[in-house]
Amino acid sequence: MTHRFPGNAAIVAGVFCLSAPFLPQAAQAQDANPGQITTPGYVPLPTLVVTANRTPLPIERLGASVTVIPAEEIQNYGTKSLADVLRGTPGLNFTESGGPGSLSNVSLRGSTPGQTLVLIDGIRVGDASSTDGALDFGALSAVDIDRIEIVRGPQSALYGSDAMGGVINVLTRKGERAMRRSVQVEAGSYGTISATGAVSGATDKVSYAFSLTGFHSDGFSRYGYRIGRITSTLTQPLENDKTDKFAGSARVTFTPSDSFSVDVGLTRFADFARFDNPGAFMPADKDTRFNKGRQFVTTAFVRANFDPFGGVLKNSLTIYSSLIERFNRLEQSCFDTFFNSYNCDTTFRSRRLGVEYQGTANLGTYGQFIFGAKSERETASTRENWLQAPYTVSMPFWGTQVTNSVFAQHSITLLDRLDLTLGGRIDAIDNKTVFPTWRATAAYRIEETGTRLRVSAGTGAHAASLYQRFSIYGLPSLRPEQNFSYEAGIDQTLLDGRVKASVTLFDSWYRNLIDFNPAANFFIGQYYNVGHARIRGVEASIDAVIVPDTWRARATFTGMTAVDEDKQIGLLRRPRQQGSLSLIYTGIPNLEVEGRIYAASTRTDVSNDFPYGRVTLPQYGRADLRASYKFNDYITAYARLENITNARYQEIRDYGVTGRAIYAGLKVTW
């Protein structure tokens, strides 16, 4: 099939901007207010966003689609999993394979998890040893996070490989003012208990923030839990799969002068969990207490910022590293050529080491020019041992590559209303595979009516993972996956800011998608470039103050069509519609109560049993309730009731989800 990029993107965007006021009012959390960010928790935020343009800019000047989730929202929903905080974000798809600590994937606008770039304090943390380089969100915990910035649409012109669907940037807290200490404890259903401690502060020249968190859950069976089709055939109860998670972060900034500072950051996540294997060959191996996994995710950076010319030319030099280590023990789940089963241990290791320079030139009335260069070395290895006395078989894989990049972006404001950006980037892998990307955005502000019109277009790329290139199934010559996308949106504020609505339409074309051919490479199987896909849809949200100081409401909606254009079938695990609805009550001083509903339409998955065909997962709705009460400036109590109606549903075929569950906690700050 010949891949075609549209030539009429600007015309479509212009028509949409004229017709948008007549479309349903809704959109991204941040886009709902042209002058101020609003979020799922309705907590006002600073108007500066870093990720969208690689420099702090007011949100009303951004042409990209951005959502910002603040610390308060993360504390309300992130005690079990950081991914839980992201639920309900427009354009975001989240799947979890059986409760906290399990493999959890997050993707934006119908892309795969590997096509969604994840950053921690601006440091790329994808797993180079996984199949498509995606990060497992199940290993992460909400440890002293200041905010999460989500930018949708291709951002490879700013960040390089993986940013095809967008960027998720997790920003840890910096210390400020006098010393601040906090302790938070929580307990609840499924034998769950967690605790977090943090301390932060600042002096004239040094700021600091340190935190630790721990989490334990007895859990439930990841395979088959509350799935009638499975439990009705069992002769004995399913085994619970417990999880233990730990995390720590440290952030120190030294500022000896107004023109120079050094920022040092370290995060460490650890996840110890039992897991099931619905795809195991033998039924007894689908649910077992002996499959165990450990995962460690570590990031570290040193960033020097120097401004010798009083803001005319700001410079930043970052040295960073990320390390992901995974260890899996599977019982009776590996097979030789004669279908004899063995226990096996598998070790995965992914490391990135890089250096990046960025310059920001402020050109006055001529705008701002950002430029920079980056060099990053990735290594990945896998070692699989089949354990069957008296011998051990090892299947190693090791790969490495160096990516060198240069990038530039110019932004300018015309007539005090029109904000324009144009940028591009060139990435070269081992000085052989070269791929350019670009991005252009525009935002027009009509302050008299509280309106902001947005349009953007750009290309993205996702380089083949080291596993796809160098494993036994790999093909070193794989080309990067690529896409072109454009979007148009409108943000509208009404009734003196009481209603904030927004809507965005987007359309994306994908090519060179990497697929797996099981009959290639002497029937071992091999990855190859073949696929084309088209993903298009609408993202919407609306925030409204129903009764001032008493009732607020928010709704989000994502409608999307994702099609494999070669096979003319829908892409897996992409619901056509999903959304959320929240209602918040604050009519009693110091009390806040929120009810929230999530819903998703049917979606396609793959059966784990013969004949292994495509299956349809039913639509579902889930309701949660949260309440918090602030006794004074130091003590806050809270509680959550999850899945109030005890809904039975599956996000991934044969993997269970929580039943009705209650959690309560106490936070003390001084």
**Predicted confidence (pLDDT) per residue in 533-552, tens digit:** 999 999 999 999 999 999 99
Integer angstrom CA distances of residue 553 from 35, 547, 549, 595:
19, 10, 12, 10
- Average pLDDT for the chain: 88
* pLDDT tens figures, 604-627: 999 988 888 999 999 999 999 999
Query: 1, exposed or middle or buried, with CB in 10 Å at 0-12, 13-18, 19+?
Result: exposed
* pLDDT tens figures, 359-387: 999 999 999 999 999 999 999 998 876 55
284 in any annotated domain: yes
Q: Is pLDDT above 80 for 307? A: yes
Higher per-residue confidence, 334 vs 447: 447
Q: Is pLDDT above 90 for 161? A: yes
Handedness of CA 614, 618, 621, 624 (dihedral sign): negative
Beta bridge partners of 402: 377
Q: Is pLDDT above 50 for 138? A: yes
CA angle, 393 as apex, 389 and 274 as ends, to 5°?
80
Work out the average pLDDT over 416-445. Answer: 96
Tell me which DSSP letter residue 89 carries. -
Q: How many domains does the chain have?
A: 1
164, 652 contact by CB (below 8 A)? no
582, 603 contact by CB (below 8 A)? no
Q: CATH no. for residue 237?
A: 2.40.170.20
What pLDDT score does 335 carry? 52
Q: Is pLDDT above 70 for 23? A: no
What pLDDT score does 562 carry? 96
Using a cut of 0.75, tell me whether the model's pTM lies above it: yes
What pLDDT score does 396 carry? 76
Work out the average pLDDT over 11-19. Answer: 32
Spatial distance between the Cα atoms of 52 and 151, rounded to a whole number of angstroms: 6
What pLDDT score does 80 carry? 79
Kindly indicate the confidence band of residue 283, based on its pLDDT and cuts at 50, 70 and 90.
Answer: confident
Kindly indicate the confidence band of residue 120, based on its pLDDT and cuts at 50, 70 and 90.
Answer: very high
What pLDDT score does 10 carry? 36
What pLDDT score does 119 carry? 96
Work out the average pLDDT over 425-445. Answer: 96
Domain that holds residue 373: 9-669
Q: Is pLDDT above 50 for 18? A: no
For residue 548, the tally of other CB atoms under 10 A from its CB is 9
What pLDDT score does 11 carry? 29
Higher per-residue confidence, 81 vs 324: 324
What pLDDT score does 166 carry? 97
What pLDDT score does 389 carry? 46
For residue 394, the tally of other CB atoms under 10 A from its CB is 9
Work out the average pLDDT over 323-337. Answer: 73
Kindly indicate the confidence band of residue 9, based on its pLDDT and cuts at 50, 70 and 90.
Answer: very low
352 in any annotated domain: yes
Percent of the chain at pLDDT > 90 equals: 77
Q: Is pLDDT above 80 for 294? A: yes
Work out the average pLDDT over 76-80. Answer: 77
Kindly indicate the confidence band of residue 334, based on its pLDDT and cuts at 50, 70 and 90.
Answer: low
What pLDDT score does 84 carry? 83
152, 144 contact by CB (below 8 A)? no
Q: Is pLDDT above 60 for 588? A: yes
What pLDDT score does 88 carry? 87
3 in any annotated domain: no
What pLDDT score does 62 carry? 93
Beta bridge partners of 119: 124, 169
What pLDDT score does 72 carry? 86
Query: 353, exposed or middle or buried, with CB in 10 Å at 0-12, 13-18, 19+?
Result: middle
What pLDDT score does 599 carry? 97
CA atoms within 13 A on the CB side of 235: 2
What pLDDT score does 79 carry? 74
Query: Which one-letter amino acid corresponds to residue 549?
Result: D
Q: Is pLDDT above 90 for 285? A: no
DSSP result, 320-358: EEEEEEEEEEEEEEEE-TT--EEEEEEEEEEEEEEEEEE
Q: Is pLDDT above 90 for 318? A: yes
63, 157 contact by CB (below 8 A)? no
Pick from 61-75, 272-286, 400-414: least confident: 272-286
562 in any annotated domain: yes
Work out the average pLDDT over 339-347. Answer: 67
514, 526 contact by CB (below 8 A)? no
* pLDDT tens figures, 34-59: 333 333 333 344 468 999 999 999 88
Q: Is pLDDT above 60 for 157? A: yes
Virtual torsion, Cα 41, 42, 46, 51, nearest 10 deg: 50
Nearest to 460 by CA among 161, 169, 167: 161
